[in-house]
Amino acid sequence: MGQSFMGRMADPQQAPHLGKILANRDVEAALAQLESLLLPRGDPLGEALSLARRLRAAPRSKDADALRERLQQTLAELDRMTLKLIIRRSELFNCGLPTDVEPSQRFAFECSRLWETLAPTDDPKVRHCADCQQAVHFEDSLAAVEYRALAGQCVAIPALLADGKFQSLTRDMVGRPNPRAIWGEALPWAESKGRSR
């Protein structure tokens, strides 16, 4: 396993970049600087950032399958906090649960896969998950995400959209709410299905 997230925060070379990412300030530049800093060190985070960048730039290149496989292996070397806070470029929902489960419950599920590790399709906003054999739709508007959620489809959303939606659903709450579950429950299931919750 690579260096822990707390160990990275204690590193004076990594901490400024991590701080920008956590504050959602100049995220792309901070990720590029981290990649440049860590890749020569052989750090798995540097390699993961490099692989993800290459896959975003050319998801259908001849070596894309090998890059996706290597990215999955490299991500396994990162601690959970580093993976969640740094590598996360989008969030996947609904993936992997049985299709006979009510979509309002399925929407609370968070997949462990990254958009970059999913196989591209003819549509640049749809990728295929080899684990659950489902199409995953990349959506960048709340209306589109809610449409996919109502249909019980797997979705990937940009992290900034997820953060903004979840913050609006969790304000005025005390404790540690599950914003994904709240978002799923906030969808108009009763009205659309003609029954009460």
In a shared domain, residues 141 and 69: no
61 and 106 together in one domain:
no
Mean pLDDT of 143-165: 75
Strand order, beta sheet including 134-138: 90-93, 154-158, 134-138, 126-129, 119-120
pLDDT score at 189: 53
| More reliable by pLDDT, 24 or 74 | 74
Task: Tell me: do 105 and 118 sit in the same domain.
Answer: yes
Over the chain, what is the mean pLDDT?
A: 77
Q: Are residues 5 and 56 in the same domain?
A: yes
The reply to whether 93 and 82 lie within a common domain is no
Which ranges in the chain belong to alpha helices (H)?
5-10, 15-22, 27-38, 44-57, 64-75, 80-82, 103-106, 142-150, 159-170, 179-186, 189-193
Domain check: are 186 and 100 in the same one?
yes
> Which residue, of 17, 52, 87, is where some domain finishes?
87
116 and 68, same domain (yes or no): no
Looking at mean pLDDT, say which of 95-104, 127-136, 146-155 comes out highest. Answer: 127-136
Confirm whether pTM is higher than 0.75.
no
d(CA 165, CA 168): 5
Residue where a domain stops, chosen among 21, 53, 87: 87
CB-based contact 127:120 (threshold 8 Å): yes
Confidence of residue 97 (pLDDT cuts 50, 70, 90): low
Q: Which domain holds residue 68?
A: 1-87
Distance between CA atoms of residues 20 and 35, nearest Å: 14
The count of domains in the chain is: 2
What's the mean pLDDT in 167-188? Answer: 57
Same domain, 96 and 83: no
